[in-house]
């Protein structure tokens, strides 16, 4: 099992300190990161919490998943790895390769 947990359905007002306290009841917490919108800085409603051990992570899932917090029912489960992204956009073609020079159209 992974030590990194996904925490979903958070109230937008939830802070890292709130989650540190909540997950600290289940075991030792290494890091807490509330995901925020890059443009506004507003919380996006989910976070990642990394526990000190796999046993603490499982204990946190068992204790906190489907429990109310901040007026919402939390979702807590093992974080999945981020899917690989293609190289499209910003200079790439649809296949992820470099953009090819085209002949002039005159």
Domain holding 16: CATH number?
Answer: 3.30.70.330
Instruction: Look at residues 76, 78, 98 and name the one whose alpha carbon lies nearest to residue 87.
Output: 98
pLDDT value of residue 8? 97
Q: For tokens 């996904």, name the residue.
A: 6
pLDDT value of residue 30? 96
Range of the domain at 71: 4-78
- Decide if 84 is inside a domain: no
| Interacting residues of 28 by C-beta distance below 8 A, sequence separation 6+ | 51, 52, 53, 56
pLDDT at 98 exceeding the cut of 70:
no
User: 47-95: per-residue pLDDT in tens?
Assistant: 999 999 999 999 999 999 999 999 999 999 999 888 887 665 555 555 5
- Decide if 83 is inside a domain: no
Instruction: Look at residues 27, 44, 32, 26 and name the one whose alpha carbon lies nearest to residue 5.
Output: 32
Ranges of beta strands (E only) in 4-100 are 4-8, 29-36, 43-51, 68-69, 72-73, 75-78
pTM over 0.85: no
The tally of domains found in the chain comes to 1
When the pLDDT of each residue in the chain is averaged and rounded to a whole number, the result is 87
pLDDT value of residue 91? 54
């Amino acid at each position: 099992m992974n030590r990194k947990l996904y925490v979903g359905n958070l109230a937008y007002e939830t802070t890292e300190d709130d989650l540190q306290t909540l997950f600290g009841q289940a075991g030792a917490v290494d890091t807490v990161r509330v995901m925020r919108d890059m443009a506004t800085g507003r919380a996006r409603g989910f976070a990642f919490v990394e526990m000190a051990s796999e046993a603490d992570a499982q204990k946190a899932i068992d204790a906190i998943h489907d429990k109310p917090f901040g007026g919402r029912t939390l979702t807590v489960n093992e974080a999945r790895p981020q899917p690989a992204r293609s190289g499209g956009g910003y200079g790439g073609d649809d296949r992820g390769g470099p953009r090819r020079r085209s002949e002039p159209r005159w």
